[in-house]
């Protein structure tokens, strides 16, 4: 593409920071860089019309881990690592709320619940018995018990009569959150260009050249915040993980309020505008769901609908209005990767399915690394 003088001058000359990815991490990185470098030219490149990962596609859970997820994490991470992860997630949620305001993101502290299918009796018994242990683990962060056993007041079917309640969990409106973040970035004179797919970059000791599908330009620093797509250019150990979601049409007198976790967090649902938003099922086919394709599959969509009919809304008629998917970034560890890759290249990736919770903090951390 032949650029005009004006395009070169205003967008692609004297660029100080180029951020690849306009999601939660990328825009928080840009905003933090603006705080540190008021006069810098900051350019954000996004390969899609909207963020292509999960920032505009997630379920909007303001959460930091259910009991079964934390117990599972303790099998592969030390207790100190698990505490640090939960601390980062909760700190990230507070930073998100502080940066954008609860009204802008429609934050609702309705609490979170974990329910267990009758077929998962061993998991249910283990989680119920370990509530005191997990409360002891997280008490230094919250100064009180986080998890309690409560009766099922939602009339779920084929589940155990008790749920585990987390009083510190909430929900947000994902669309409102991203619009507020984009508005804040624009207010702070951060340039965002969509449909720009970075295909390569070349670095020497004192310069850095970025190549997209339409333009080649120079920048002083390059930051990748592409999460599930990170391995394409950063060579980091990040695997894409597709998360499929559906939403019902409005349901009159919907009795479900809050955020809900099922099957070690592999399924999750919530209320939104008198609808049920329901996602998950990656564990039905890990290999097929390790993909960057934004398609949905009949296998997982059918399972979501089956659980809606027989577990979540057993006595309530419903219709599915829409389905979609988003791409998360996972790896052998749930610890995010925040690092300097070379003299002028950095990254903040691998949110581990907790981008809403931890994304704002990782953006700040990678910006402060520069």
pLDDT of residue 52: 87
End-to-end, the C-alpha distance of the chain in Å comes to: 31
227, 250 in Cβ contact below 8 A?
A: no
Task: Please say if the pLDDT value at position 90 is more than 90.
Answer: yes
Q: What is the pLDDT of residue 231?
A: 86
Q: What are the tens digits of pLDDT across the range 234-256?
A: 888 899 999 999 999 999 999 99
- 24-36 helix and 79-100 helix, angle to the nearest 10 degrees: 70
Assign 233 a pLDDT band (cuts: 50, 70, 90). Answer: confident
Q: Is the pLDDT of residue 356 over 90?
A: yes
Q: Is the pLDDT of residue 204 over 90?
A: no
Estimate the share of the chain in helix, then strand, then coil, as percent rounded to the nearest 5: 35, 25, 35
> Domain boundaries in the chain?
5-49+175-237+333-369, 66-78+101-172, 239-330
For 142-161, the pLDDT digits (tens) are: 999 999 999 999 999 999 99
Q: What is the pLDDT of residue 13?
A: 97
Find the mean pLDDT for residues 315-343: 94
Q: State the pLDDT at residue 207.
A: 82
pLDDT on residue 199: 94
- Name the band, by pLDDT with cuts 50, 70 and 90, for residue 341: very high
pLDDT number for residue 287? 96
Please give the pLDDT value at position 237. 83
- Of 59 and 332, the one with more pLDDT: 59
**CATH 3.40.50.670 correct for 239-330:** no
Looking at the predicted structure, is the pLDDT value of residue 1 above 80? Answer: no
Confidence of residue 53 (pLDDT cuts 50, 70, 90): confident
What CA–CA distance (Å, rounded) separates 199 from 280? Answer: 31
Could you report the per-residue pLDDT of 103-137, keeping only the tens digit for each?
Answer: 999 999 999 999 999 999 999 999 999 999 999 99
Per-residue model confidence (pLDDT) at position 290: 96
Q: What is the pTM of this model?
A: 0.95
So what CATH class is 5-49+175-237+333-369? Answer: alpha beta
Mean per-residue pLDDT over the chain, rounded:
95
Q: How far, in Å, CA of 232 to CA of 44, rounded?
A: 18
Query: 107 or 53: whose pLDDT is higher?
Result: 107
Distance CA 84, CA 65 (A): 12
pLDDT in tens, 283-314: 999 999 999 999 999 999 999 999 999 999 99
């Amino acid at each position: 593409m032949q650029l005009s003088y004006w395009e070169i001058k205003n967008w692609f000359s004297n660029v100080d920071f180029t951020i690849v990815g306009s999601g939660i991490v990328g825009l928080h990185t840009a905003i933090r860089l603006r705080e540190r470098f008021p006069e810098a030219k900051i350019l954000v490149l996004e390969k899609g019309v909207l963020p292509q990962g999960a920032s505009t596609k997630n379920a909007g859970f303001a959460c930091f881990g259910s009991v079964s997820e934390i117990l599972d994490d303790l099998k592969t991470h030390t207790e100190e690592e698990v505490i640090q992860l939960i601390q980062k997630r909760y700190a990230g949620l507070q930073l998100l709320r502080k940066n954008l305001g609860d009204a802008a993101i429609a934050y609702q502290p309705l609490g979170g619940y974990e329910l267990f299918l009758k077929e998962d009796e061993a998991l249910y018994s283990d989680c119920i018995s370990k509530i005191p242990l997990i409360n002891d683990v997280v008490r230094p962060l919250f100064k009180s018990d986080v998890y309690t056993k409560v009766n099922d007041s939602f009339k779920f079917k084929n589940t155990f009569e008790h749920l585990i309640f987390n009083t510190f969990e909430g929900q947000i409106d994902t669309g409102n959150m991203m619009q507020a973040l984009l508005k804040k970035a624009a207010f702070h004179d951060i340039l965002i260009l969509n449909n720009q797919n970075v295909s390569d970059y070349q670095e020497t000791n004192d310069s850095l050249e970025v190549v997209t599908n339409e333009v080649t330009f120079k920048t002083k620093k390059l930051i990748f915040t592409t999460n599930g797509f990170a391995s394409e250019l950063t060579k980091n150990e990040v695997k894409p993980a597709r998360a499929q979601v559906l939403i019902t049409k409005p349901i009159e007198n919907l009795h479900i309020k809050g955020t809900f976790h099922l099957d070690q967090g592999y399924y999750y649902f919530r209320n939104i505008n008198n609808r049920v938003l329901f996602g998950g099922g990656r564990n039905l086919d890990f290999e097929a769901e390790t993909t960057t394709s934004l398609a949905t599959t009949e296998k997982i969509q059918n399972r979501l609908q089956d659980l809606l009919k027989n577990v979540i809304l057993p006595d309530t008629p419903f219709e599915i209005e829409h389905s979609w998917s988003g791409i998360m970034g996972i790896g052998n560890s749930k610890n995010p990767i925040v690092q300097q890759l070379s003299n002028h290249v950095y990254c903040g990736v691998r949110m581990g399915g907790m981008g809403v919770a931890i994304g704002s903090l990782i953006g700040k951390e990678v910006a402060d690394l520069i």
